[in-house]
Chain A
Amino acid sequence: MIKESKQPPFSVGKDYWKSLDSLAETPGFQDWVSREFPEGASMLDGVQRRSFVKLMAASFGLAGLGMTGCRRPEHVILPYGKSPEELIPGVPAFYATAQPTSRGFQPLIVESHQGRPTKVEGNPSYIPFGGSTDVYSQASVLDLYDPDRAQGSYVRQTLKSGVFRWKKISTSTVLDSISDEISNGKVGILANHSHSVLRNSLSEKIKGKGIKWFEHEAINYRSAERQLGEVLGVQVGLRAVPTLKSAKRVLSLDCDFLGNREANEVANTKAFMSGRKVLDPKDARKMNRLYIVESDLSRTGGVADHRLRLESSSIFAFSCLVASELLAKTKDADAKLIGHLGKLGANANKHSKWVTEVVKDLVSSSSNSVVLAGSHLPKEVQLLAYTMNRALGAIGSTVDYIETSDSSESISSLASQIVSGEVERLIILGGNPVFQTKGFLDWDTLSKKLKYCVRLGASIDESSQIADHHIGQSHYLECWDIGKTWDQTALVPVQPLIAPLFDTISENKLLCHLLGDESSDHDLVRDLQISISGNLSFEDFLRLGCSDLKAVNGKNVDPSKALLRLSVQDSKSPVFSENNLEVLIIPDFHAHDGQYANNGWMQECPDPISKLTWDNALLISPVLAKQLEAKHSNLGLLPKATMLNNNGQIAPDAALFEGGKQKAPVVSLKVGNRSILCPLYVQPGLADFTVVASFGLGRRHVGRVGQGSGYDSAPLLNGNGSFILQGASLEPTGDFSILANVQEHWSMEGRAIVREANSEDYQNDPGFASHMGAESHSPPMWGKDQDKSLAEKATSTPRGNSAYEHPDHTYEKSDVFGIHQWGMAIDLNQCTGCSACVVACQSENNIPVVGKDQVLRGREMHWIRLDRYFSSTARDGAEIPSDVQVSFQGVACMHCETAPCESVCPVNATVHDEEGLNAMAYNRCVGTRYCANNCPYKVRRFNFFDWNKRSTDELYQGPLGEKNDSLVDMGKNPDVTVRMRGVMEKCTYCVQRIQESKIRTKINAQRSAKLETGRDGSDVKLETKDLKVPDGTIKTACQQVCPSEAIVFGDISDPDSEVSKLKNNPRDYSVLGYLNTRPRTTFLAKVRNPNNRMPDFSPSPHSTREYHDKAHPSHHGDEHGAH
């Protein structure tokens, strides 16, 4: 699993941690370190710019010591007396670390500028992630600089009036009082799930001391493994880890394995989408196929080739039907078992045609097929998935079942022990259990029973409210830790990039304190690493950022007995209707389980499917919306089509807009005796009577960012951990809520924007994309140059059949023409809509957060946006459809060669550079916004306010408003200008990364030229070829983070570059090519791979059909998709 991080032939691109290490070996530096080390300077209290800079300078100076980038946490040190050699101010350092999450440790490389971590990137040494991360890791760096963090420790003081307040005290005082309290016994610790080896070893020791250990995780990815172990009767958990690289046929049972509802999204995406990479018709024949049955429209559902809408409660019966057919077709056939399963699956018989074809297809690829079950589904479905994978021979081939262990008690048992008095003192480590469990635990009563409660948390939140002390928890970029990835094939370190900004401590530190162990956590991590993977030195481990681990595969268990125990009763699901709805609770895209609720980047990153920001809504199907409309006249859920067009009507926006703002009716959702208030949002693709609530927003005790965002669905959760509820009903309250939706219109309106074909059509006509769009049926504007590649069309100035004479001053032959010509290709077939690129870009390019109010006004600033279109079989498009296909398209500045924005700027602020970049001179911009109007792709973003200077609620105060907390500024990338108000901005192709690489290339060329010639100075002549940046060296932020490698950037004048190859692919096309903008970013058309025997087979993708209907209206009424 581990590969040595390859250093390019000369040091180009990321200069990982190596140079600093060599720096540390110089005797001068060693000497300097030993001399300049004062002991025991006072701890920092609060962050001030001056002391911060001092601290950072020092910690950076120590970067080269054996500890690779970290000072020993006990010491606070003074700035350089003299700058260490080879330390170049302005050149960032990169360190390997990891983000501990409930989905396993996420291996990372973090960029640090003068000691300030600014950008998180995936660690390429961990192959399943391959240098990618999910959207949450990208956003996590912002939490480090969150002004609303707990900036130390606090004690709760009750004032005379009865209200209480938090008074700041030193952490060491709190630790002392904890020591006193635990000596009285009856102590319990409530923690999150953790994949940390260190914490697990500490928790074992803690348990040995008689302290009880409880764990709770709201979004419990580990429930499936526990349940499967239980139902199979094995003592351990069995975690299904799909290895989708070789998977040809995948059936997903409500399993969002490409999205945030399952763990290991990045690895799954990378592996699965690599099986959908189609570069020529041969690949198309080998392309994998995804079937999904689900109640919600997940990102995985968006990628699927066949999608069946089914309530989650009915998935059990459906799975039985699939299993019985599948077992009948494989050699494991046991008539009794098959009959039993058939009986259980009888409820799903109406889908039998669908199922039969799916099973046929799965069996035909046998061990290359896999069945995946959602982790929120009951144990029976986990068992059925296991059975089917076993029958297919998939175990060991496309899915591994690895053994896991978990010996903690649940939060319910904690509650009962508090009630019974067995636990009197509680330590809450991280998480936010009070918020997450308030649906089934009465914390008011429980907290009264507790004699003492201390809370370690990143911020003062709901859980702190029951505590006597709150201890600020260090961010993961401030601590040491060591843990495993989700698939348990790698051991990864968490090493701090920065000393704790505030008086905070880590979870492990607190546990050590409880154990009375004063050894440093650095030493603990080192010792653990050496004991686990001794053949790799600790230094190498830190440099590489991960070390190989062997996951323990579960024993092959015969599931028949367990299967026969399943009863028909369980498989029955109620008939759902408007008055008996199913509720599916999913982790919120923005906040996950609530932990990112105060993260502006996550709040403003649109939900990939609904495109909502700063809010969650109760998603309901169009069918349900219609029924509600009929019952309640003034809901306005389903707007009328907003115009007439030549096909009759145009698709209305997905919800009702008043003055451009989405007005969502607020309803009361009742499930049994619980109810919540939430706004409705009509979402195509849902099971008719399933409503989808998301969990994690609507928090009460949260920082300024998360305040007032969304509704809280936690009261719906019950103690059994089920995320599927039944018997719900909706009652409109008559109120309305305004939702900030960044994409109001769902339909592509038959425009050839995302071009798609089915695999079969693609094999017959690989160049289908060039036969679509206005450019394909207007007079050939390229004339004799028609067949040139898009790369050539963008970099040269073909005149086609122009009758006019042109003087030959062709730019591309001139001296100023750059030696590189940058370009980008985005493979639409690879995009799952994960949105990591959006946040990665935001982090890299200092893109401000504008807040809900400004998003409502249409002023979001994202440089790359992910357009999501739905297309349907409904011909007129005037009604919101139920069955849709989803198409994603990442759109950033296209860097047009004949850019419409450039010619209209009256002050020359946006100009073309010699390497084809459409450059933006912020200093020169006066802000006429003409460029943004004239951009056909609408990718330009205007600073309507001083976003960076003022917080989002002070924007309208002008000079009277308060300035932003400067803490946030520390996370800014110093290589990118922070834009002021009144200027336009947009994607630059990460020009700072391009420049950095060009400078490095030039330095290296100069060095080797000096060595070769022995001469120095201006007489050293550099060849053009030496100055060319090797392909693949520069990765834009969006490209780097993309798990499915959908984005490729490079030099399109180099025919061997990867981007050139993609641009020569027949699938490549320019969006709105007919405008002759000659964009440098082109797209590779999407290829879907449906099974033509399926009952829902459509001969061409819905969007393609819509396009043909529109482009050739005379053929309207012909066979669908004929062209």
Chain B
Amino acid sequence: MSEVKEASENEILKKIDPAPWKEVPLVLNNRSYKWVTDKICGIVESKTPTWWWWCFITALCIASFTGMGLVYLVSTGVGVWGNNNPVNWGWAIVNFVFWIGIGHAGTLISAVLCLLKQKWRTSINRASEAMTVFAVLCAGIFPLFHVGRVWFAWWLFPIPNANAIWPQFRSPLEWDVFAVSTYATVSILFWYMGMIPDMAVLRDRAKETWRKYFYGFFAMGWRNANNHWRNFEMAYLLLAGLSTPLVLSVHTIVSFDFAVANLPGWHTTIFPPYFVAGAIFSGFGMVLTLLLPVRAVFGLRDLITQKHIDNMCMITLATGSLVGYAYAMEFFIAWYGANSYEGFAFINRAFGNYWWSYWIMVSCNVICPQLFWFKKIRENTPLVWIISIFVNVGMWFERFVIANTTLSRDFLPSSWGYYSPTVVDIFTFFGTFGFFSVLFLLFLRFLPLMPMCEVKSVMPQADPHSDH
């Protein structure tokens, strides 16, 4: 073997003249730190735009549907919903799983992508975390109010009491209580903690007194000191580590509500991974649905770049395909398992009395995201937004299909039934979108919608080795 000299190597490089690896910057147009600060803080500090008021009032009205629906429900009985025997869980549980699923993207983006050092997450993580928190709040409404005697719902918590009765720890609903409350707590902590430095920025820029007090209170005395940053970074990392398993556990446990039951179509081991994939899928769908308009309205194209959209689209594509694989695998196992009840349950899903919902689900969840293979489509923002809506619809139907097709036709044909929602069902669910929007609009108005410090850290200027 002949010796290769370094000089000759260099010569080769000179000869072929390789193009430099050009990383697409995460903030476009060479924006400065100040621009970022002004941009994000400006959203909060500027005069409340008129559109915001219109949106807020509309959302508030819509949210009142949920309020009225729940008042009617509690005062009259669960019968005002469409639930029946055999479909004892109707829309309520469907909506719960739907919202909880949406709540997944936030933590995934902030925690998992943080641990995986995915720098592009920075400009979307704050809004996603807010979405998570609000979605979990919406989700919590349903399991709480779907019970027959909501005034005793606290019995689900293991509170020592005079009767010495504990909850039943074998019940997946009990696990739900812990899983969802833990998830909500950690998500709120994570969200809030990440906001502290930005709150301090807002505090420091504030002119009105109330702002000074408001942001000052929430900034918790942040002084930008080195040890503050050290603690912050460490706490952030710890919380990221803590929330990462939660991303998997919450929806796993939610899927146990079904998988632990013995009903054909529910009693399957594929549910946990399939639910988690579905949750991430729906979460990213919702992030796209929310952030694309926000990006347009606030002119954030330099911060939420095509790269971000590309990445989110690709995650949606990947998880959508995973979900599609799960659908196929369910059918395979139902056939391979040779259990006639199980086999029937799946044929019933696709061709039975709720066939329409199954095919809505398949076309929205499996077929739609396949469009993201094409760069042209990913770059067409309105189209991406429309597809993201389809993803949301499809994921709602997925839960509907799972919950209702199985319950409406299970073991004994004598007890087969059919479920249709009532007006109260529809309005209560519709109202949660209003509730969610109210919260999200307040978030946009009063809180920094991007972590400025983190965005700055991934800007080209932050890299001392960069040319700038």
Partner of B89 from the list A929, A959, A984 (CB cut-off 8 Å) is: A929
Asked if A119 is at the interface of the complex by the 8 Å CB criterion, the answer is no
Given A929-B148, A943-B148, A1072-B411, check contact A857 B84 (CB 8 Å): yes
A749 adjacent to B344 (CB under 8 Å): yes
A900 adjacent to B76 (CB under 8 Å): no
Give the number of chain B interface residues (Cβ < 8 Å).
62
Q: Which of A106-114, A355-363, A904-912, A1006-1014 is the interface stretch?
A: A904-912
Partner of B147 from the list A659, A928, A936 (CB cut-off 8 Å) is: A928
A929 adjacent to B83 (CB under 8 Å): yes
A956 adjacent to B80 (CB under 8 Å): yes
Asked if B263 is at the interface of the complex by the 8 Å CB criterion, the answer is yes
Q: Which residues does chain A contribute within 8 Å of B355, judged by CB atoms?
A: 643
A778 vs B168: C-alpha distance in the bound complex, in angstroms? 32
Asked if A660 is at the interface of the complex by the 8 Å CB criterion, the answer is yes
With CB as the reference atom, state the residue of chain A lying closest to B424.
Answer: A956
A859 adjacent to B347 (CB under 8 Å): no
Q: Which residues does chain A contribute within 8 Å of B88, judged by CB atoms?
A: 929-930, 932-933, 942
A589 vs B271: C-alpha distance in the bound complex, in angstroms? 47
- Least Cβ–Cβ distance between A949 and chain B, in angstroms: 10
Q: Which residues does chain A contribute within 8 Å of B172, judged by CB atoms?
A: 904, 930
Q: Which residues does chain A contribute within 8 Å of B341, judged by CB atoms?
A: 751, 774
Interface string of A420-448 (1 = CB under 8 A from B): 00000000000000000000000000000
Q: Which residues does chain B contribute within 8 Å of A941, judged by CB atoms?
A: 85
- Least Cβ–Cβ distance between B240 and chain A, in angstroms: 31
Q: Which of B97-105, B133-141, B413-421 is the interface stretch?
A: B413-421
B149 adjacent to A926 (CB under 8 Å): yes
B77 adjacent to A946 (CB under 8 Å): yes
The DSSP consensus for interface residues of chain A is loop
A1037 vs B437: C-alpha distance in the bound complex, in angstroms? 55
A745-791 contacts to B, CB under 8 A, are 745, 747-751, 753, 774, 778
A939-979 contacts to B, CB under 8 A, are 940-946, 955-959
Asked if A938 is at the interface of the complex by the 8 Å CB criterion, the answer is yes
A459 vs B67: C-alpha distance in the bound complex, in angstroms? 45
Asked if A124 is at the interface of the complex by the 8 Å CB criterion, the answer is no
A944 adjacent to B262 (CB under 8 Å): no
Q: Which residues does chain A contribute within 8 Å of B170, judged by CB atoms?
A: 903-904
Asked if B273 is at the interface of the complex by the 8 Å CB criterion, the answer is no
Asked if B25 is at the interface of the complex by the 8 Å CB criterion, the answer is no
Partner of A642 from the list B86, B261, B353 (CB cut-off 8 Å) is: B353
B413 adjacent to A749 (CB under 8 Å): yes
With CB as the reference atom, state the residue of chain A lying closest to B79.
Answer: A944
Partner of A934 from the list B79, B153, B263, B351 (CB cut-off 8 Å) is: B263
Asked if B174 is at the interface of the complex by the 8 Å CB criterion, the answer is yes
A848 vs B340: C-alpha distance in the bound complex, in angstroms? 36
Given A904-B260, A933-B89, check contact A751 B340 (CB 8 Å): yes
Interface string of A888-922 (1 = CB under 8 A from B): 01010000000010011111100000000000000
Asked if B58 is at the interface of the complex by the 8 Å CB criterion, the answer is no
Q: Which residues does chain B contribute within 8 Å of A750, judged by CB atoms?
A: 340
Given A659-B420, A906-B167, A906-B168, check contact A981 B77 (CB 8 Å): yes
Asked if B108 is at the interface of the complex by the 8 Å CB criterion, the answer is no
Partner of B414 from the list A659, A745, A778 (CB cut-off 8 Å) is: A745
A65 vs B171: C-alpha distance in the bound complex, in angstroms? 57
B156 adjacent to A945 (CB under 8 Å): no
A908 adjacent to B167 (CB under 8 Å): yes
With CB as the reference atom, state the residue of chain B lying closest to A859.
Answer: B84
Asked if B434 is at the interface of the complex by the 8 Å CB criterion, the answer is no
Partner of A926 from the list B153, B261, B410, B420 (CB cut-off 8 Å) is: B153
B149 adjacent to A927 (CB under 8 Å): yes
Asked if B213 is at the interface of the complex by the 8 Å CB criterion, the answer is no
- Least Cβ–Cβ distance between B364 and chain A, in angstroms: 22
Asked if A744 is at the interface of the complex by the 8 Å CB criterion, the answer is yes
A927 vs B464: C-alpha distance in the bound complex, in angstroms? 61
Residue among A748, A749, A933, A940 with most chain B CB within 10 A: A933
- Least Cβ–Cβ distance between A743 and chain B, in angstroms: 5
Q: Which residues does chain A contribute within 8 Å of B262, judged by CB atoms?
A: 900, 934, 936, 1075
Partner of B413 from the list A643, A747, A983, A1111 (CB cut-off 8 Å) is: A747
Interface string of B75-117 (1 = CB under 8 A from A): 1111110111111110000000000000000000000000000
Q: Which residues does chain A contribute within 8 Å of B257, judged by CB atoms?
A: 930
Given A660-B417, A867-B414, A933-B407, check contact A925 B148 (CB 8 Å): yes
A859 vs B418: C-alpha distance in the bound complex, in angstroms? 12
- Least Cβ–Cβ distance between B124 and chain A, in angstroms: 36
Given A659-B418, A891-B412, A924-B155, check contact A906 B177 (CB 8 Å): yes
With CB as the reference atom, state the residue of chain B lying closest to A924.
Answer: B165
B394-431 contacts to A, CB under 8 A, are 407, 410-420
A747 vs B413: C-alpha distance in the bound complex, in angstroms? 7
With CB as the reference atom, state the residue of chain A lying closest to B420.
Answer: A659
A905 adjacent to B171 (CB under 8 Å): yes
Asked if B146 is at the interface of the complex by the 8 Å CB criterion, the answer is yes
A764 vs B42: C-alpha distance in the bound complex, in angstroms? 89
Residue among B156, B172, B177, B414 with most chain A CB within 10 A: B414
A868 vs B415: C-alpha distance in the bound complex, in angstroms? 11
A905 vs B262: C-alpha distance in the bound complex, in angstroms? 14
Given A900-B262, A959-B76, check contact A926 B156 (CB 8 Å): yes
With CB as the reference atom, state the residue of chain A lying closest to B169.
Answer: A906
Asked if A854 is at the interface of the complex by the 8 Å CB criterion, the answer is yes
Asked if A657 is at the interface of the complex by the 8 Å CB criterion, the answer is yes
Asked if A723 is at the interface of the complex by the 8 Å CB criterion, the answer is no
Q: Which residues does chain B contribute within 8 Å of A860, judged by CB atoms?
A: 85
Asked if B122 is at the interface of the complex by the 8 Å CB criterion, the answer is no
Given A945-B76, A981-B77, check contact A926 B155 (CB 8 Å): yes
A903 vs B417: C-alpha distance in the bound complex, in angstroms? 24
With CB as the reference atom, state the residue of chain B lying closest to A750.
Answer: B340
Asked if A1110 is at the interface of the complex by the 8 Å CB criterion, the answer is yes
With CB as the reference atom, state the residue of chain B lying closest to A940.
Answer: B85
Partner of A868 from the list B153, B414, B420 (CB cut-off 8 Å) is: B414
With CB as the reference atom, state the residue of chain B lying closest to A746.
Answer: B413
A261 vs B416: C-alpha distance in the bound complex, in angstroms? 30
B343 adjacent to A646 (CB under 8 Å): yes
Asked if A10 is at the interface of the complex by the 8 Å CB criterion, the answer is no
A907 adjacent to B148 (CB under 8 Å): no
Given A907-B156, A908-B166, A946-B77, check contact A926 B414 (CB 8 Å): no
Asked if B363 is at the interface of the complex by the 8 Å CB criterion, the answer is no
B413 adjacent to A907 (CB under 8 Å): no
A645 vs B350: C-alpha distance in the bound complex, in angstroms? 11
Asked if B252 is at the interface of the complex by the 8 Å CB criterion, the answer is no
Asked if B173 is at the interface of the complex by the 8 Å CB criterion, the answer is yes
B148 adjacent to A744 (CB under 8 Å): no
A906 vs B416: C-alpha distance in the bound complex, in angstroms? 26
Residue among A657, A745, A891, A940 with most chain B CB within 10 A: A745
A778 vs B337: C-alpha distance in the bound complex, in angstroms? 10
Interface string of B354-388 (1 = CB under 8 A from A): 01000000000000000000000000000000000
Interface string of A145-164 (1 = CB under 8 A from B): 00000000000000000000
A370 vs B75: C-alpha distance in the bound complex, in angstroms? 61
Q: Which residues does chain B contribute within 8 Å of A46, judged by CB atoms?
A: none
Asked if B52 is at the interface of the complex by the 8 Å CB criterion, the answer is no
Asked if B339 is at the interface of the complex by the 8 Å CB criterion, the answer is yes
User: Which B residues lie at the A interface, using CB under 8 A?
Assistant: 72, 75-80, 82-89, 146-150, 152-153, 155-156, 165-168, 170-174, 177, 257, 260-263, 339-341, 343-344, 347-348, 351-353, 355, 407, 410-420
| Cross-chain pairs A/B with CB under 8 angstroms, 13 sampled | A643-B348, A646-B343, A745-B413, A748-B413, A751-B413, A867-B412, A904-B260, A906-B173, A926-B147, A936-B410, A938-B85, A1072-B412, A1110-B340
The 5 A-B residue pairs whose C-beta atoms are closest, nearest first, are A927-B148, A982-B148, A660-B418, A944-B79, A958-B76
Besides A858-B87, A955-B79, 16 other A-B contacts (C-beta < 8 A): A644-B347, A646-B343, A659-B418, A751-B341, A857-B82, A904-B261, A907-B152, A926-B149, A926-B153, A927-B147, A928-B148, A929-B88, A945-B76, A945-B77, A955-B76, A956-B79
